[in-house]
Chains A and B, each alone.
Chain A
Amino acid sequence: MGAEAVDYSVFVDHDAAGHAQMNLVVEGISGDGCIEEIERGLTALPGVVRARLNYTNHRLSVAWGAETSADAVVARLSDLGYRAHPFAMPAADEEAERAKWLLRCLGVAGFAAMNVMLLSVSVWAGNVSDITPETRDLFHWVSALIALPAAAYAGQPFFRSALAGLKARKLNMDVPISLGVLLALGMSVVETALSQEHAYFDSALMLLFFLLAGRYLDHAARQRTRAVAANVAALRGEFAHRLDAEGCPVQVPVQALRPGDLILVPAGERVGADGVVVDGRSNMSEALVTGETLPRTVAAGDAVHAGSLNGEGALTLRVTAGGDQTLVDEVQRLLDGAMTARTAYVRLADRVARAYAPVVHVTALASALFWIAMGASLHDAVMIAVAVLIITCPCALALAVPAVQVVATGALFRSGILLRSADMIERLAQVDTVVFDKTGTLTLPDPVVRLPEGTNPALVRLAARLALSSHHPLAAVLARQAEGAPVPEATEEAGAGVRAVIDGREARLGSLAFCGLDAPADLPASASLIAFRLGDDGFVAGIDQALRADAEDVATALTGMGLSLVILSGDRPDAVAPVARALGITDARPGLKPAAKIAAIADMKAQGHRVLMVGDGLNDAPALAAADASLSPVEGAALTKAQADAEFLGTKLGPVRDALACARSALKRIRENLWIALLYNLIAVPLAVGGYVTPLVAALAMSGSSTLVTVNALRAGVPRAGGMPAAQPGKARS
């Protein structure tokens, strides 16, 4: 499509100075030279006013004046050896904004904690030596001056979440945190006003600082994986051929298509948008949409869906919006229902908080009553109760989960899993049933060539070169094996095949009848057949879906981990059965519509199973949303990936096993951390009730338990010996 114009206008916007600007994702960035190479190469282009590459997320921002164009920029990058794809920056990037906000809060809390600690240490040292009450009060007031505004600002993430939780009548971890911070500050102000010895300003700020650090790191780790996922999506970004007023095709990104546009879908290309066929006749492979591998014949008036692969005929489509897209509408409706079920999950930390907060508050009240009964003054009794609440403010408890999540997200990222949702690790670790979709999930998204035993490899190479001249999708699969130039002077006969003359002998590639060959017995029944004939020699090859290279190993490993495996497929029984047999999966259910998949998953959940759904097709999207946890290969449909908790990269299924193994080890660490936090409370609470907790003890206890929890979390990144075996190469079934 080299000669066809490309329309990038949907990605281009204008800055304040009137320069056009565009963001691109650049592929192949590695090593030291490429920042310079790209930036210098682009600014050398006349008209380019700015080019800045972000090495961390591989995104390039370019601005240019009137002298150049988006095409020139992309062409220049391609000359430099980098494949780039325009990237639509989300208008308001909420995630990035939140990360910056957390970092600002962290900065404020850090500043305040340091300065207040400086004053507190002086007071602690002075209390055991010769500080005058006047100086101590001055230091306490200065601490209050720093701590109150700082906590009001830096505490917002916790206060807001606590308020939201209380409004929804749910107790989350932020409620005891907010309460602890507010009580510590309030009590300290009262004590300072009464010219007392102890103030807890430093504890409150240190608590905020530790917790914000945990939250920020957790957020940043997920933001990084999301950025990679967005880049992969942009690099696979699809273009459609839109027909302009004169009927000339112009390449436009699929995002720019509007209802009513006419698009041309050449043979062998994916359909970029839902539409109705206006002209042409072809076979549509809707594997990505419905999971069905047999193509469907479409002609004028038929609806086709985005993601379908066009067969041998070119089609003209009119793009539709909503309306009569029964399948997509049905998927969307099912999705809305399934998503409400998902939100019912309560995070482990919040479940702990629900049990923890009442116990702590009752303990505080009981200790106040105890001291009043023992004859202490009301002031002393209240002070002890508040000290109990401060010491039990769940610093270690609240760090227990995010600290492990940061480490586990990083470990998963290194094994090719891009985590999307925060609580996925917990949900994933509790899974006992893994449901797979077949097409595109257990099998590779692209079909492979299967040859009968004893086929001459030289003939196959020749056939592949001849296949380069054909537009037929089956030939295109064969053509991927081609080495060298296409066979010269090949002619294509529509509906039959390609013919050419090689070394004086006639060569034909196409249907079995066209080549005069019979189907061999040893090809799988599910394969589509293509024949090649050279003189009297020839062979028949099958084009078939292939299992992912390590699917068998992964299935064995998952069974070994005590998981039961199920296949829910939209495909025919005779296509599903061989896959299930090869993987040793007994529970394989073919021919399921999206609603039937949801029903099957709901059924398993009703029996008390926790279900992980792994799927890629549009028809899997509602099932992904309905399951307890969900994974999707990065090649999956966009709507489907949006429902998945995580995406995995690469052509192997190994990440599914790694994700489960890593999540289980992470959950173990989380549980250990919760025990450590509990143990800390068992030691600290009696001290507080006994009235032995001074601000110094509180500071030591808080930082000590937080450090312990964080160090334990680091172990989540270290795979246990034999826990995560390296993916086995070989055993490919192609």
Chain B
Amino acid sequence: MNVLIYLVPLALALGLAGLFAFLWSLKAGQYDDMDGAARRILSDEDVRK
């Protein structure tokens, strides 16, 4: 069961990484305009430039 010594911290680290990614995206305003994000992805604006 020695494998737990690094697997448990690894699992926790991955979970924490996900949590911080979520908190960062919330702070960056990524959930402020959900409908807009769905439409902007179809925009060709960046390709034309």
Quote the shortest CB–CB distance from B10 to chain A (angstroms).
Answer: 12
| Chain B 11-49 interface mask (CB, 8 Å, partner A; 1/0) | 110011011001100100001111110011011010000
Residue of A nearest to B22 (CB): A107
6 extra A-B contacts, CB within 8 A, seeds A107-B22, A146-B12: A35-B36, A40-B45, A54-B32, A115-B11, A138-B8, A142-B8
User: What is the count of residue pairs linking A and B with beta-carbon distances less than 8 angstroms?
Assistant: 52
With both chains docked as a complex, state the minimum distance between the C-beta of B34 and any C-beta of chain A, in angstroms.
Answer: 6
Q: With contacts A54-B33, A114-B15, A142-B8 known, is A32 near B39, CB below 8 A?
A: yes
List A contacts of B8 (CB < 8 A): 119, 138, 142
Q: Is A111 an interface residue (CB 8 A)?
A: yes
Contacts of A135 in B (CB 8 A): 1, 4
Contacts of B4 in A (CB 8 A): 135, 138
Which residue of chain A has its CB nearest to the CB of B25?
Answer: A107
Q: Is the CB of A107 within 8 A of B19?
A: yes
B39 touches A115 (CB 8 A): no
- Mind listing 8 A-B residue pairs with CB under 8 Å? A32-B39, A54-B36, A56-B33, A56-B34, A103-B31, A104-B23, A104-B26, A107-B19
Chain B residues near A555: list those with CB within 8 A: none
B17 to chain A, nearest CB (A): 10
Residues from chain B with a CB closer than 8 A to the CB of A40 are: 45
Q: How far is the CA of A53 from the CA of B43 in the complex (A)?
A: 14
In angstroms, Cα B39 to Cα A54, docked, is 11
Give Cα A119–Cα B7 distance, bound, in whole angstroms: 12
Q: How far is the CA of A114 from the CA of B16 in the complex (A)?
A: 11
Ranked 7 nearest A-B pairs via Cβ:
A55-B36, A111-B19, A54-B33, A56-B35, A107-B22, A115-B15, A55-B35
Bound together, the chains give a CA A621 to CA B12 distance in angstroms of: 55
| Number of B positions contacting A (CB below 8 A) | 23
Is the beta-carbon distance between A107 and B23 smaller than 8 angstroms? Answer: yes
| Nearest Cβ on chain A to B45's Cβ, whole angstroms | 6
Chain B at the A interface: SS class: helix
Could you tell me the distance between the alpha carbons of A108 and B26 in the complex, rounded to whole angstroms? 12
Q: Which residues of B does A touch, CB under 8 Å?
A: 1, 4, 8, 11-12, 15-16, 18-19, 22-23, 26, 31-36, 39-40, 42-43, 45
Chain B residues in 8 Å Cβ range of A582: none
Chain A: number of interface residues, binned into ranges: 20 to 34
Q: Which residues of A contact B32 (CB under 8 A)?
A: 54, 56
Does A480 sit at the interface, judged by CB under 8 A? no
Instruction: Report if A36 contacts B (CB, 8 A).
Output: yes
Per-residue interface assignment for chain A, residues 113 to 147, with 1 indicating a CB less than 8 Å from any chain B CB and 0 otherwise: 01100110000000000001001001000100010
Considering the complex, give the chain B residue whose CB is closest to the CB of A96.
Answer: B32
Bound CA span A135–B1, Å: 9
Is A14 part of the contact surface with B, judged by Cβ < 8 Å? no
Q: Which of A57, A107, A135 has the most CB of B within 10 A?
A: A107
Known: A32-B42, A36-B43, A135-B4. A108 touches B19 (CB 8 A): yes
- Which chain A positions have C-beta within 8 A of B33? 54-57
Could you tell me the distance between the alpha carbons of A104 and B31 in the complex, rounded to whole angstroms? 12
- A100 contacts the other chain (CB 8 A): yes
Closest to B16 in A: A111
Q: Which residue of B lies closest to A115 (CB)?
A: B15
How distant is the Cα of A135 from the Cα of B3 in the complex, in angstroms?
Answer: 12
Residues 25-39 of A, flagged 1 when their CB comes within 8 A of B and 0 if not, give 000000010011000
Q: How far is the CA of A146 from the CA of B32 in the complex (A)?
A: 29
Residue of B nearest to A34 (CB): B39
User: Which residues of chain A have C-beta atoms less than 8 A from B40's C-beta?
Assistant: 35
B39 close to A35 (CB less than 8 A): yes
Please give the distance in Å from A17's CB to the nearest CB on chain B.
18
The distance in angstroms between the C-alpha atoms of A138 and B12, with both chains bound, is 14
Known: A111-B15, A138-B4, A146-B12. A56 touches B22 (CB 8 A): no
